[in-house]
Each structure stands twice: as C-alpha cells, then as structure tokens.
Structure 1
Amino acid sequence: MANINPYVNFMGNTEEAFNFYKSVFGGEFLALSRFGDTPHGDNMPANEKDKIMHISLPIGNTILMGTDALESQGHTLTFGNNFSIGITPDSMDEAHQIFDGLSAGGNVDVPLQKMFWGAWFGMFSDKFGIKWMINYDDSQK
C-alpha cells in the first residue's frame, strides 16, 4: 500500500523552516537539493540557485517534504495552496492507478513521467482542488 506524506511550499524560506522543524523533531534530512543543482540550474537567476528544490525530513513513519515556490519558475503561492499530499506507491501499477484515479476530472500539472532524479513523478489537483504528487522510485524496489 502507498505511503502518504505532506509536501509544503514556501516563499523562499524553506531552509529556515526545515531547520526549525529539525530542531523540534530531531533527525537528519534524507534529501536536500538546491535549484542550482538541477539540469536547468545554470539558467536560473543567481539569487535563486541556492533556494531549496527539494528537502525531506523523516518524522516518525512520515516524511515531511518541501520546496521553495519560485515565481520565476511559474509558481504562485498563497496560504491555503501551499501544500500537497505526496504519495509513494509500492509499484508502477499502483502509481498509475492512483494517478489516473485521483486526477480524473481534475487538472494535471505534470503528467506521470520519468524525471531527472530517477523516479516516476506526476502532479495534479483533483476535482475538489486538493493538490497531489505521485513519486515512484523503481530503483528503490
């Protein structure tokens, strides 16, 4: 069965927020990637290269994940739409079943596809306006 994890978006202060969460919950970051490290990082404004593309902090059996929502990358952020529910399926079949089922009647932002970090990823809002992200890493299985 798939795992569900919250994914939160910030307006440029993700690193500060996650260091705060780490000080409260303890543990170590599982991942920390900056926009400057992405395949398109060289094309980004210098002041955004050090912003967080992805970060994750385990909290019990859940993983809190986050990013800086950069307006230069087409992201808009208002409180209330600054989070998504992330799902980590157990198989590619389950990834497609969940993606296709939940996105029906909704708005697909990123079709389920192989991404530069090696996982299959898709992002959408369901027909009720809830934001979802599916991330299946077949190399971890």
Structure 2
Amino acid sequence: MKINPYLLFDGQCEQAFKFYEDVLGGKIEAMIRFDEMPESGDHSPESAKKIMHVSLKFGDNVLMGSDDPSPNFQKAQGMSVALHTDTPGEAESLFAALSKDATTVILPITETSWALRFGMLVDQFGTPWMVNCPKAG
C-alpha cells in the first residue's frame, strides 16, 4: 500500500506543479485538462483548460493534484505535506526553494530536539509544507 498527497488548487495547479517539479527535482508524468476528459462531466468554459489531474514523480514518491472546479474551493487546512531529507543541507535547500514567495513561514528552518533541521511554511500556492532532517537514532 502507498499513500500519495493529492493537492487541490483554485486555478493555479499547473503553475504549482511546474514549481514543485523544479523544486523537488521530479518529472510530471501526467497533466490532463478538464476539456481533455469526456468523462469529467459538465464543466464551465472557464475551467476547460484548468487541470483535472496531474501526477509528479520524484524519487519513490508521487504528488498528485488538480484544480477544484467547484465554487466552494477551500485551501488546505489541518495538514501538511512532509518532506524528509537525509542531510541538513538538503533540508535547507528545499526549505529555501519552497519559501520563494511563500505566504507564511510558520517556523524557519532550524535545529530542534528531534531534527537536525526542521521548518514549516505555507507556499505561494497555499500548500502547507514541513521539511525535516531527523537526528540519527
């Protein structure tokens, strides 16, 4: 069994995933627009070119997402996408890249009682992230 985060956006999915592809060093394996999927149902002309589904592979991980066409879109709350690194340098680099134009830096990258480096932020697209480089043991 695997678990994959699935992120929802209010029209910025394509821009966000191109950013994540660059930051995470991955590859977008699929990016499908609403107007490319006959089974996606009725959608407004405004949502035709928005993303119905995207899949980004990086390492052994997959991050997925879409633009939410509903009028009741809500930004992610009560969760974070957690990234775990092997080195403090990698954690610092990821945190710096994700922090570009971030809406909120909740906790700047720092050493904690459990981690060589740990930081929390909400990126420019509204996605909450935690970056963690654990201490040995």
Tell me the TM-score normalised to structure 2 length. Answer: 0.51
Shift of 1:44: 2.4
Change beyond 3 A, Cα 1:48–1:33: same
**Distance across 2 between alignment mates of 1:70 and 1:14:** 11
2:18 is matched with 19
SS in 2 for 1:4: coil
Shift of 1:27: 3.0
SS in 1 for 2:38: coil
**Distance across 2 between alignment mates of 1:81 and 1:59:** 24
**Distance across 2 between alignment mates of 1:19 and 1:62:** 16
Structure 1, unaligned runs of 5 or more: 85-141
Tell me the TM-score normalised to structure 1 length. Answer: 0.49
Return the match for 2:77 from 80, 91, 94: 80
Tell which structure's C-alpha radius of gyration is larger. Answer: 2
Please say if residues 4 and 62 of structure 1, whose CA atoms lie closer than 8 Å, have aligned partners that are also in contact: no
Q: How does 1:1-141 map to 2 (within 5 A)?
A: 2-40=1-39, 43-71=42-70, 75-80=72-77
Structure 2, unaligned runs of 5 or more: 82-137
AA aligned opposite 2:2: N
AA aligned opposite 2:30: A
> Higher helix fraction: Structure 1 or Structure 2?
1
Instruction: Count the aligned residue pairs.
Output: 81
Root mean square deviation of aligned Cα: 2.5
Percent of paired sites with the same residue: 36
* 1:70-112 deviations in Å (ceiling 9; x for gaps): 125xx5323317889xxxxxxxxxxxxxxxxxxxxxxxxxxxx
